[in-house]
Amino acid sequence: MPKDTRNVADVTTDPATAATEKTAVLYRMALPNHLCPAGQKARWLLESKGYKVDDRLFRERPEVDAFKEEYDVPTTPQVWIEGARVGGYDALRRKLTDYDPDAPTYKPVIYLFAVAAATSLALSIGFLSAITWQTLGWFISVSMILLGMQKLRDMESFTTMFLNYDLLARKWVPYAYIYPWVETGAGILMTGMLLTWLAAPAALLIATVGAISVFKAVYVDKRELKCACVGGNSNVPLGFVSLTENLMMMGMAIVMLVLIMV
């Protein structure tokens, strides 16, 4: 990318007039102490979509303030394409891609399970030199750890979503705060095959309550809810994936309990 040597943004040329065909006008901050990340991403996205970018950089804070007042916008970057203002980076992303911040998506769960699967394979090959039933056990326990960590990173958002459907949490709110710790702790113990007498019953309890809660909310009450499985503020739909997660946890807990009893 050629280095831009301008000291100030071009505010004399109408951006709507300059933004013709495949030329986009981008106003973004490049202050001495702040290079705007959203502005960098906006330029990259425009170039990746074949636009030539008329890159207008703000070098001083007064320029930014004057620009926002002139165009009545709350923030920068601001982008013009095809003779019209699109808005900031999020608006540009929505226009040029299929991005929809409100659309349901399974991507967070897919990525998490993919990491868990890769980790379980690495453990199996590294320590056992083979893929065995233990690989499946590690996949489930590592998934529990990762899912628990997602919940722990923002407990308030998680508990708010969790209380929408979990039967035990709706009867006793503290359970919503306890759940992530139990899930994470049981996953850690199961991964190390430690204190099975404690980890397996704990996992079985939360998984059973979870499976019943999800089944009732989705398949009996026909409610359309977001799943709290990957933490709060996610757009993962509550349904088959959530039910499967709980059933896998139940299955592993039962197997571990059987093994310590024989």
pLDDT, tens only, 58-91:
999 999 999 999 999 999 999 999 989 999 999 9
- Tell me the two tokens of residue 247: 């059933």
**Backbone angles phi and psi of 164, in degrees to 5:** -70, -25
- Tell me the two tokens of residue 193: 């095959």
- Tell me the two tokens of residue 230: 């990957």
The answer to whether 200 and 257 have CB atoms below 8 angstroms apart is: yes
Position 5 confidence tier, pLDDT thresholds 50, 70, 90: very low
First to last CA, the chain: 66
In three-state secondary structure terms, 37 is: helix
Global pTM reads 0.81
Distance CA 16, CA 14 (A): 5
Query: How buried is residue 5: exposed, middle or buried, by Cβ count under 10 Å (0-12/13-18/19+)?
Result: exposed
Query: Percent of the chain scored above 90 by pLDDT?
Result: 73
Distance CA 240, CA 104 (A): 14
Q: Mean pLDDT lowest for which of 118-127, 136-145, 236-245? A: 236-245
Angle at Cα 100 formed by Cα 99 and Cα 102, nearest 5°?
155
Q: At what angle do helices 133-152 and 240-261 cross, to 10 degrees?
A: 120
What integer is the mean pLDDT of 88-101?
90
Q: Across the chain, where does the E strand assignment appear?
A: 23-31, 34-35, 52-58, 78-81, 84-87
For 33, what's the count of Cα atoms within 13 Å in the CB-facing half-sphere? 1
Position 10 confidence tier, pLDDT thresholds 50, 70, 90: low
pLDDT at 21 over 90: no
pLDDT mean across residues, the chain: 90
Peptide bond into 32 cis (omega under 30): no
Measured in residues, the chain has a length of 262
What integer is the mean pLDDT of 128-140?
93
Q: Looking at residue 11, what is its pLDDT?
A: 62
Beta partners for residue 125, in sequence order: none
Q: Looking at residue 231, what is its pLDDT?
A: 78
Beta partners for residue 79, in sequence order: 26, 87
Helix (H) / strand (E) containing 235: none
Q: Mean pLDDT lowest for which of 115-124, 191-200, 235-244? A: 235-244
| Architecture of the domain whose range is 15-96 | 3-Layer(aba) Sandwich (3.40)
- Tell me the two tokens of residue 215: 């089944």
Rg (CA), the chain: 25
Q: Mean pLDDT lowest for which of 62-76, 91-105, 153-167? A: 91-105
Query: How far are the Cα atoms of 91, 132, 134, 189 from residue 122, in angstroms, in the given order?
Result: 40, 12, 12, 18
Distance CA 91, CA 80 (A): 11
